[in-house]
Copies of this chain bind each other. A is one copy, B any other.
Amino acid sequence: MNSSAHSPFPVPPTRAALMNCIDMALAEDLGPSGDLTTDLLIPPSSRARARIISREPGKLCGAVVLGPLFGRLDPQVSVTETIAEGGRFEAGATLATLEGATRALLTGERIALNLMARLSGIATLTARFVQAAGGQARVVDTRKTTPGLRALERYAVRCGGGHNHRFNLSDGILIKDNHRVACADLADAVQRTRAGTPHPIRIEVEVESLEQARSARDAGADILLLDNMAPQAMEAVMNELGHDVLYEASGGVSLETIGAIAATGVDLISIGALTHSARSLDFSLELEA
């Protein structure tokens, strides 16, 4: 499942996903009266240039929002991306330059920074995990994303070199611990999901031991989620069951532990922290005098 050679450039979010997020953010931040300060101080005809700058190094994600965001405020704003999406930058780097109505630049500043700094934080953290994994397994996200921003945060994971798990509860099957509490017979459970699931979707089962792994494999699971298992235990499973199924490691993955986990030969390592605990990078927008 190594994909580096053929990996296309990260596919950006759909236009609908971008615009929904941007319009929600504009409604929230402009309020019913708009940007009072700017509208009272800056004449509509004023034009300016501005730069978006990072005060720390990282990996870029989110420049894709600049055009649609500032376009909502002024159709004439032009955006120049000086760092490509997914590209690395150093502290002090200019990430993009903007030119257009001064009002639009000032009014859109905070939303632009909020989105780019958050998404770049995710991409930067993802890239650290990918590097620590040493190219031996896919680093994948989880559903532990910010409500309303999943499409964008998944894109940030891709920009960081990671991959995506299922988007939501309707485009993947994952039989978890809590399902098994309520549904004792695993073989029956796998068959029931197989019978009712669109055929393009694989069946994944969460297991915590070799014994559970074997019964899940025997029941017909396509993917085994090895939950919170030590690297040696994972190796034991794979030695015993072979590689006709995919193996996903999950639980307690840190930058310190991911190397050993990847070395076991699992196909995928899923990490909730990519999206739920990345901190925003320190970006600012500077108007040119």
Chain A interface (Cβ within 8 Å of chain B)? Answer: 1, 3, 5-8, 11, 13-17, 21, 24-42, 46, 48, 50, 72, 102, 106-107, 109-111, 113-115, 117-118, 138, 140, 143-151, 154, 163-176, 178-179, 181-183, 188-189, 191-202, 204, 223, 246, 248, 267-268, 273, 276-277, 279-280, 285-289
Given A40-B197, A178-B109, A148 contacting B28 (CB threshold 8 A): yes
Bound together, the chains give a CA A8 to CA B35 distance in angstroms of 15
Bound together, the chains give a CA A126 to CA B176 distance in angstroms of 33
Chain B nearest CB, measured from A233 CB (Å): 21
Q: A5-B191, A171-B201 are in contact. List 8 more A-B contacts (CB 8 A).
A: A36-B170, A37-B169, A37-B173, A110-B143, A113-B144, A171-B200, A173-B200, A181-B287
Bound together, the chains give a CA A34 to CA B147 distance in angstroms of 16
Chain B hits for A173, CB < 8 A: 36-37, 40, 200
Chain B nearest CB, measured from A163 CB (Å): 7
Question: From A26, which residue of chain B is reached at the shortest CB distance?
Answer: B16
Contact A37 B174 (CB under 8 A): yes
